[in-house]
Amino acid sequence: MLAVLSPGQGSQKPGFLTPWLDLTGAEARLRWWSALAGVDLVRLGTAADADEIKDTARTQPLLVAAALLAGEHLPMHDVALTVGHSVGELGAAALAGVFPAETAITLAGVRGREMAAACALEPTGMVAVLGGNTEEVLAALDSHGLEPANRNGAGQIVAAGSLAALDKLAAEPPAKARVVRLKVAGAFHTPYMAPAEAALGAVAAGITPADPARILLSDLDGAAVSHGREMVQRLVRQVTSPVRWDLCMRTLADLGVTGVIELPPAGTLAGLIKRELKESGVPEIVTLNTPDDLPAARDLIARHGMAPSHGPTMRFRVVVSPSVGTFTPAEGLAEGETLKVGQVIGHVATRQGPVEVTAHDSGPLTEWLAHHNAPVAPGQPLARIGGQH
């Protein structure tokens, strides 16, 4: 199984889009997206310095545009899974078919502007806490009134909150941990961003999403999301909620992902995966930074992706598990029966109680992929729904 990753804020580098403008139509594409985002993506990706592209209002649409520009040059129909870190989720959702690229760019522009405005309301910031015992680090953050804004795995937790509280944490770091100040405008993924969440939600309410065409993981909990409307709601909530990249990586491991492509500007997420999954098995990784990396990315997809189809064939929709637990199919529901959109096909028993699994497409139940009392992980395929195209 192959996964495509879309990076988040902090991964940008001056001039990283320059080589991509040599591709036919790339500059025109970026100029069209610039009109939607309200920033000059061509200049930001080629001529702007590090300080300018650090500006939240500029960085967020720039990163989403970079991921989508590169994704357009990959055979995405053979990719099984997409996931993004923070604002990268907008790119991942678009590549999964939840909404068009233009919608992702527009939402990134709104998200960036509104989060920048929220940062200006009071002095807040973020620090990376590297090393230490996870529970002890979280306890230290709580004692200082700080939020674990990013839980990135690999011994890295990003704390966010008031500058005064961050200073106290730096002066009294948790045992065996070091605190590194991050050059960001404010406390992202915390309640300080509530005005930005409200503004993004008002805009997102006007779009009509589709259900993902492939497995799409959510930063909120590492779970696979089967319904487009739910994903949009999660994208809005994520503005004030912690990024659980650690859980996303756990899901990649649970699903047995063997190949990973990180979209530009690539490297950050690949590094976290290499450190976090070194014991369970690191997948083969391609960091896609320039068009020169496209042949390696396409080769990885050819070897680890889904087989392409040719001519009139069956089109299959896969229903996936929303969480970890034990799956039980709906009583009396047999292969060959016709399903309706929203029909309950089974339940996953979790520690928090049963979670319904519903069909996100209509058509015949072609095949059960998990059976009674089968242990399942988030994103694990449970059933196929077939139909002609």
Average pLDDT for 74-78: 93
Q: Mean pLDDT, to the nearest integer, of 370-381?
A: 81
Query: Hey, what domains does the chain have and what are their CATH numbers?
Result: 2-118+191-304 (3.40.366.10), 121-181 (3.30.70.250), 314-388 (2.40.50.100)
Question: What was the pLDDT predicted at 314?
Answer: 34
Contacts of 353 (CB under 8 A, 6+ apart): none
- 130-167 pLDDT per residue, tens: 999 999 999 999 999 999 999 999 889 999 999 999 99
Residue 388: per-residue pLDDT = 39
**Cα distance between residue 301 and residue 133, in whole Å:** 37
Is the per-residue pLDDT at 170 higher than 90? yes
Does residue 342 register a pLDDT over 90? no
Q: What does the pLDDT average to over 43-50?
A: 96
pLDDT of residue 374: 87
Q: How confident is the model at residue 338 (pLDDT cuts 50, 70, 90)?
A: very high
Q: Answer yes or no: is pLDDT of 76 > 90.
A: yes
**So what's the pLDDT on residue 317?**
63
pLDDT (average), residues 27-49? 97
Q: What is the mean pLDDT of residues 175-198?
A: 93
pLDDT tens sequence across 222-279: 888 988 999 999 999 999 999 999 999 988 988 889 999 999 999 999 999 999 998 8
- The predicted pLDDT at position 389 comes to 35
CA angle in degrees (0–180, nearest 5) for 297-303-307: 110
List beta partners, residue 82.
4, 216
Kindly report which listed range (62-76, 313-327, 368-382) carries the lowest average pLDDT score: 313-327
Give percent of the chain above pLDDT 90: 75
Catalytic residues: 86, 189
Instruction: Name the E strands within the chain.
Output: 2-6, 81-84, 124-131, 147-153, 156-162, 177-181, 215-216, 259-262, 284-287, 314-320, 325-329, 338-339, 344-350, 353-358, 363-368, 374-376, 381-388
pLDDT band of 307, cuts 50, 70, 90: very low
